[in-house]
Amino acid sequence: MFNDHLARGARGRVRAAFATAAAAGLAVAAALTFTNNAQAADTLGASAAESGRYFGAAVVPNHLGESGYVDTLNAEFNSIVAENVMKWDATEPNRGQFNFSGGDQLVAHAQANGMEVRGHTLVWHAQQPGWVQGLTGDDLRQAMLDHIAGVAGHYAGDISSWDVVNEAFEWDGSRRQSNLQQQLGDGWIEEAFWAADQADPNAKLCYNDYGTDAINAKSTAIYDMVADFLARGVPIDCVGFQSHLSTGADLSTYQANLQRFADLGVDVEITELDVGGSGSAQAEVYRTVTEACMAVDRCTGITVWGITDKYSWRSDETPLLFDGDYQKKEAYSAVLAALN
């Protein structure tokens, strides 16, 4: 089932359309199975797979030696993304010298356990190695293109979808004034997508951002960019909605926002879900997000940004599905119910 996501041959929109057709077929098959067995799957990954979707987690290789961590990962998830080790600072600490050790470890673990791998992230204003930060003009452009070729090329065939560009817009819908934007101009995003397409023609290519959990100025600017890319044949297949949320989040247009991107002709993915809070309030936000993904045919899966609260980047907000002792939280039950 996971391999269907990887089996896309052609590039650009043809690739995405094929994936959708495969997922739709799986959904019908899964529905029949479900009816016959009258029994829901009892893990996140297996439940998501019944509708042709994945359920993933951001993973840190250093924790794989901890039994609670790795046992929870292997039991519950069928997709992995690197929380940090595939970023530019980790993979190319010196110009032209690549370090794939952490990422390779994650890919090996995923493949040994039948999981997909999402790629995060090829180009981002943050977590750039020091040598990148001083570059200007065409020197920076060449460094970006070489980085994409090196990393996406190394992992070609192993990645279901790449976050090619991460967080390039401001809240008001303007471009973020990063070194990339200031040195390379508006064209840098599509240049990155063309380079990723060349390096790995089979991975789906995503734009990924936060604060896009509603129909708002930021998500609309991204929507306009995707529409423009599709109209001009720039290879983009998917949009990632990070969904770093809290219990107060206004999710009244969350599903409609996913749907408008799907209607444009790209897949949508929930890429970094976590919800600050606890108990039923937290569980309800998780339920709403999961139900929204399930209601949108082209929502291909959900990734939570970590496994256990104790290692979360916002651990003081206990935002994940498992507590510090790897016990399932109320939010876990809400997600499982929504997937089924």
Active site (catalytic) residues: 167, 272
**Contact predicate 78/114, CB 8 Å:** yes
For ligand G2I, give the closer residue by CB, 127 or 142. Answer: 127
Strand-pair partners of 270: 241, 302
When CB distances to ligand G2I are compared, the closest residue is 313
Instruction: Spell out a b/e string for 159-190, using b for 16 or more CB atoms within 10 Å of the CB, else e.
Output: bbbbbbbbbbbeeebebeebbbbebbeeebbb
For ligand G2I, give the closer residue by CB, 166 or 202. Answer: 166
Please state the closest distance from residue 145 (CB atom) to ligand G2I, in A: 21
Please state the closest distance from residue 219 (CB atom) to ligand G2I, in A: 16
Residues that bind ligand G2I (CB under 6 A): 83-84, 126-127, 166, 210, 242, 272, 313
For ligand G2I, give the closer residue by CB, 133 or 280. Answer: 133
Q: What does the radius of gyration of the chain's CA atoms come to, in whole angstroms?
A: 19
Please state the closest distance from residue 126 (CB atom) to ligand G2I, in A: 6
Please state the closest distance from residue 271 (CB atom) to ligand G2I, in A: 8
For ligand G2I, give the closer residue by CB, 116 or 272. Answer: 272
**The pairing of beta strand 267-276 with beta strand 299-304:** parallel
Please state the closest distance from residue 313 (CB atom) to ligand G2I, in A: 4
For ligand G2I, give the closer residue by CB, 160 or 242. Answer: 242
Query: Which residues have a Cβ under 8 Å from the Cβ of 267 and sit 6 or more positions away?
Result: 16, 19, 20, 161, 204, 237, 238, 239, 298, 299, 300
